[in-house]
């Protein structure tokens, strides 16, 4: 008969909980918040033009005495070229998405929100700055000074680096590929000659750095869904940002108050970028569900905007619209990475930009005279 103490020990042994599973996440992932701040600073400078598009739109109509459609052409050309994702701000934004997805996993939505807060902060500074420069000098001089300020983003972008664990992984994959090329040698007359390569018995993994692997994203139906919704979203966002100050002026608002709309709705834009993505990060909603609800509410706000007649009603709708615009901008790279994978993310952005860029040239016709 077993002693009671031995039985107790056995109970302890058998009721002991298994050790928790080890996380395979790299040690630096979700901890490098300074990278989110740096990316936010880059977006602060890079988004200056689109955030000041309302001022530039009105200024071009007054300076060059053109109608609305003609004044929209320079801004539409900027949007078309930048969305090609290979020129100017287009390549900057594309790489910022990649950086954030490399440095963050669980808190990806929050990190993207911090990055895009730089864009909303830009709306507090540059429209008012351009208005001040125009009153002090003239429209042409204000645009020249504005361009000189924005050029500083080049120096800031040099600080951004690829994560150490990504570089280490690439090096390990390269070394493993070299070792896999095992050769059989034979010695004849004291010389070493290659007879044949040893056939691989295992299926080799695809080269994630190759263009052929990247283009496999075209086989994913969800890629096309994300691309179409993003193009429609971005199209509406750019037209909204460009025309809402002029729309407010048509409703009897002064130019100063109309330009001031941009900093005001940037407040709720920031809330949308930082607050709403947390719902998906915490698991309260799926990212796809959040994006669907966000686009629906954004569309309802746009449908109600033509019915607004006073400054307060325009402001209220702009504040609501900006909340969902901010959330949509943050969730786009997160939902893209979720469905296409990090390895195919850069080429996915490139394809979307290539399709979206030429479509932005149609915006002047959409805006009208």
So what's the pLDDT on residue 256?
A: 80
Rg (CA), the chain: 27
What's the token pair of residue 286?
Answer: 């799926």
- What's the rounded Cα separation, in Å, for the pair 186 and 182? 13
Q: Which residue has the tokens 């949509």?
A: 328
Q: Quick check: 217 pLDDT over 80?
A: yes
Q: Which has more confidence, 272 or 204?
A: 272
So what's the pLDDT on residue 257?
A: 85
Quote the distance between the C-alpha of residue 75 and its chain's center.
20
Most confident of 102-106, 149-153, 206-210: 149-153
According to CATH, what is the number of the domain 33-163+207-367? 1.20.1250.20
So what's the pLDDT on residue 87?
A: 59
Range with the poorest average pLDDT among 14-23, 62-71, 82-91, 135-144? 14-23
Range with the poorest average pLDDT among 17-31, 78-92, 110-124, 272-286? 17-31
- CB atoms inside a 10 Å sphere around CB 29: 17
Most confident of 36-45, 63-72, 248-257: 36-45
Q: Which has more confidence, 271 or 89?
A: 271
Q: Which has more confidence, 24 or 189?
A: 24
So what's the pLDDT on residue 83?
A: 60
So what's the pLDDT on residue 138?
A: 93
Q: Quick check: 192 pLDDT over 60?
A: no
All structural domains of the chain with their residue ranges:
33-163+207-367
Helical packing angle, 287-304 and 221-250, nearest 10°:
30
Helical packing angle, 221-250 and 68-82, nearest 10°:
150
Q: For 138-180, what is each residue's pLDDT tens digit? A: 999 999 999 999 988 888 888 888 888 777 777 777 777 777 6
Q: Quick check: 137 pLDDT over 70?
A: yes
DSSP category for residue 20: P
> φ and ψ at 174, to 5 degrees?
-65, -45
pTM: 0.62
So what's the pLDDT on residue 196?
A: 46
Q: Which has more confidence, 318 or 29?
A: 318
Q: Which has more confidence, 79 or 309?
A: 309
Q: Which has more confidence, 236 or 130?
A: 130
Q: Quick check: 19 pLDDT over 50?
A: no
So what's the pLDDT on residue 16?
A: 46
Q: pLDDT category, 133, cuts 50, 70, 90?
A: very high
Alpha helices in the chain (DSSP H): 4-14, 33-46, 48-51, 53-64, 68-82, 89-103, 108-136, 139-150, 153-157, 164-180, 211-214, 221-250, 255-259, 261-274, 276-281, 287-304, 311-340, 345-359, 363-367
């Amino acid at each position: 008969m077993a002693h009671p103490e031995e039985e107790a020990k056995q109970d302890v042994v058998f009721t002991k909980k298994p050790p928790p599973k080890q996380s395979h996440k790299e040690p630096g992932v979700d901890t490098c918040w300074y990278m989110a701040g740096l990316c936010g600073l880059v977006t602060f400078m890079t988004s200056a033009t689109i955030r000041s598009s309302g001022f530039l739109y009105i200024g071009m109509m007054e300076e060059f005495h053109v109608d609305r459609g003609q004044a929209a052409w320079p801004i539409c050309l900027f949007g078309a070229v930048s969305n090609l994702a290979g020129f100017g701000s287009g390549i900057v934004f594309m790489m910022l998405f990649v950086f954030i997805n490399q440095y963050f996993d669980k808190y990806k939505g929050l990190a993207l929100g911090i990055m895009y807060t730089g864009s909303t902060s830009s709306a507090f500074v540059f429209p008012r700055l351009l208005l001040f420069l125009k009153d002090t000098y003239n429209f042409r001089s204000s645009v020249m000074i504005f361009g000189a300020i924005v050029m500083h983003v080049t120096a800031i972008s040099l600080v951004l680096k690829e994560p150490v664990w990504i570089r280490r992984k690439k090096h390990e994959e390269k070394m493993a590929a070299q070792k896999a090329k095992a050769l059989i040698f034979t010695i004849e007359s004291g010389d070493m000659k290659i007879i044949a390569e040893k056939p691989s018995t295992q299926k080799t993994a695809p080269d994630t750095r190759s263009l052929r692997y990247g283009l496999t994203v075209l086989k994913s139906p969800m890629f096309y869904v994300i691309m179409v919704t993003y193009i429609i979203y971005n199209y509406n966002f750019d037209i909204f940002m460009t025309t809402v100050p002029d729309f407010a002026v048509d409703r009897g608002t002064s130019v100063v108050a109309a330009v001031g709309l941009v900093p005001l709705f940037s407040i709720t834009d920031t809330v949308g970028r930082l607050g709403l993505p947390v719902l998906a990060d915490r698991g309260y909603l799926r990212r796809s569900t959040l994006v669907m609800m966000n686009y629906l509410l954004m569309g309802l706000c746009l449908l109600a905007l033509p019915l607004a007649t006073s400054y307060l009603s325009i402001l209220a709708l702009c504040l609501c619209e900006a909340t969902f615009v901010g959330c949509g901008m943050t969730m786009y790279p997160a939902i893209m990475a979720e469905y296409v994978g990090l390895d195919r993310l850069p080429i996915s952005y490139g394809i979307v930009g290539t399709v979206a860029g030429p479509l932005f040239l149609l915006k002047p016709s959409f805006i009208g005279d």
